[in-house]
Every structure is written in structure tokens, then in C-alpha cells.
Structure 1
Amino acid sequence: MTFILRRQVEFNHCDPAGIVFYPRYFEMISAVTERFFADGVGVSWAEMQQTGFGTPMGHIDTRFLAPSRLGDWLSFALEVREIGRSSVTVAIAGTCEAEARFDCTATMIHAHPSDAASAPWPDTLRRAMTRYAHQPSEA
């Protein structure tokens, strides 16, 4: 299963030419992962924070493939690639009407924000994330 989120490119995302300023993609990626945990996994970042945990970004690798412009509707497709003891690696593809705009691989860590110590995923979160695990296509 793939987690999908659609968002329209807004004025605040763009440079004076009306093209998405690349650091704004990282804000969009953060928004997609936040919605993934809230809507896909069933535990919002606010709920995690109340229990003393967070999911800081440990690594992100992004390729920008084509510009996005003010008013474009972007689809973000997130799939879980790997779930570790205290990390999860996801692949996110950003498209507009089937044209690839960017792709990224991001690893988030389940951690205590106060001391940055990682902690194992609770079984309920691990099971929920597993539903979005990438399923290789058969040749």
C-alpha cells in the first residue's frame, strides 16, 4: 500500500519566478511524513510528543527532476522501504499529473527529543508502518 497526499503549490513555496524554491520541498516532505504518521500510522507527532518521543530526520537524499510552479497540484507517494529497530526509511515521489518532480529517500529515527537517544518502535507503530511496505513488482 502507498500513502498518498495531494497539495497545491502556494505562493509561499515559490521564488519570484513562480517556481518552487528547492528548500520548500523539504518542508513539503516534512508535511508528508507528518500526515503519514497521523493519517497512515494513526499516531500524530503531537501524540508522540506527549509520550516523550519524536521522529527526527536522520538522513535525506533528494533528487530534483523538474520544476513545480505556483498553482500546480502535487501528489506525494510514500512507501516504507525498511523498518529498523528504531528507524524507518521511506521513499517519497513527488509528481504533477504523472510528471516526476522530485524523489527522495528519508530515514527517520524514533527517539527521545530531550536527549536524542533512539528507542525501539512500539509494536503498534511498527505493524501500522508495515502496511505501507514497498512490494517489489514481479517480472
Structure 2
Amino acid sequence: MHFHFPQKVLFKHCDPAGIVFYPRFFEMINDAVEAMFSDALRWPFEEIHPDQGVPTASISVQFKAPCRHGDQLVLAVEIKAIGTSSLTLRTRATAQDQLRFEADHTLVCVGADGRPTAWPDDMRHKITGLMEGRT
């Protein structure tokens, strides 16, 4: 995996039964992606968003086991492929060595007009470096 993001399951993530309400997993996935861009790629969202963006174009999640209040998750993000303007990722969340969910998702680099645009050369270099273990 190319980036690891720890996430404790908090009260705010859970339904009254103490199980994570599934839309909160999408927030966790986005938090892990945002942290990867900031910490591993050194291109934080607050620097990207004035002129560009990296919205999620598609996402598919397979829920394997429930997550409960207090679980210590680790979201491991793997970069599967980089295209001209796309980035394909897989995020796997585990707790206590058990797979809890797995997501396949695609981001798209967009310009200020909201249309797909090529990854900036320096960012493409950083992403491929992370994929190859150079970063």
C-alpha cells in the first residue's frame, strides 16, 4: 500500500446501535485521500482547490465486516493506475487484522472550469514516484 491513515471509529460515525452508518465510510475514504495528497504528495487540497480539484468520479465499496464505536481502523490507500487526468485507487480498511471494507475509486483532476485536465507534470512525477516507492 502507498499510504496508511489511522481512523478511530468515533461516536459521530455510528448509528444508535454503535455500528458505523455506511455514509460515514465515504467520509473516511475521502479523509484518507485528502491526507495522502497532503502528507505523501505534498499537494494539500487547500492548495489544489482555488484553481483545480480532484473529485471522485466513481466509487464502489464492498463491506466485509461491521465497524463499531471505538474500533481502530487503518485505511491503506493503494494507487492502482494513473491516466491523463484520472487516478485509480483501492482503499482497504482493517481493524485487528480483519478486513472491514474495501473500496475501488477513481479521482479526476479537473480545472477551474470543472472539466478534466491533465495532471500537472510535477504532480504526475510525485504520484508515479509514490507508486514506485520513490517518495
- TM-score grouping bracket, smaller chain normalisation: over 0.9
TM-score, scaled relative to structure 1: 0.91
What secondary structure sits across from 1:126 in the alignment? helix
1:32-74 per-residue CA deviation (whole Å, 9 max, x = no partner) reads 1100111111100110113x00101101011000000001100
Q: Structure 1: how far apart are the matches of 2:87 and 2:107?
A: 5
Task: Using the TM superposition, give the Cα deviation of residue 87 of structure 1 relative to its aligned residue in structure 2, in angstroms.
Answer: 0.7
Q: Structure 1: how far apart are the matches of 2:132 and 2:126?
A: 13
Alignment of 1:70 with 2:82, yes or no, is no
Check the 8 A contact 1:3/1:36 in 2, yes or no. Answer: yes
1:91-128 per-residue CA deviation (whole Å, 9 max, x = no partner) reads 1000002100000111000002x532111001111111
Task: Using the TM superposition, give the Cα deviation of residue 82 of structure 1 relative to its aligned residue in structure 2, in angstroms.
Answer: 0.6
Trace 1:1-139 onto structure 2 (pairs within 5 A): 2-50=2-50, 52-112=51-111, 114-133=112-131
Q: What is the aligned-residue RMSD (CA, Å)?
A: 1.4
Task: Using the TM superposition, give the Cα deviation of residue 131 of structure 1 relative to its aligned residue in structure 2, in angstroms.
Answer: 3.0
What secondary structure sits across from 2:20 in the alignment? coil
Check the 8 A contact 1:91/1:104 in 2, yes or no. Answer: yes
Q: How many residues align?
A: 133
What secondary structure sits across from 1:117 in the alignment? coil
Q: Structure 1: how far apart are the matches of 2:132 and 2:4?
A: 13
Task: Using the TM superposition, give the Cα deviation of residue 134 of structure 1 relative to its aligned residue in structure 2, in angstroms.
Answer: 7.5
After TM superposition, which residue ranges in structure 1, 4 or more long, deviate above 4 angstroms?
Answer: none
Identity rate, percent: 38
Q: 1:105 to 1:72 in 2, by over 3 A?
A: same
Q: Structure 1: how far apart are the matches of 2:118 and 2:110?
A: 8
Check the 8 A contact 1:80/1:134 in 2, yes or no. Answer: no
What secondary structure sits across from 2:131 in the alignment? coil
TM-score, scaled relative to structure 2: 0.93
Check the 8 A contact 1:10/1:70 in 2, yes or no. Answer: yes
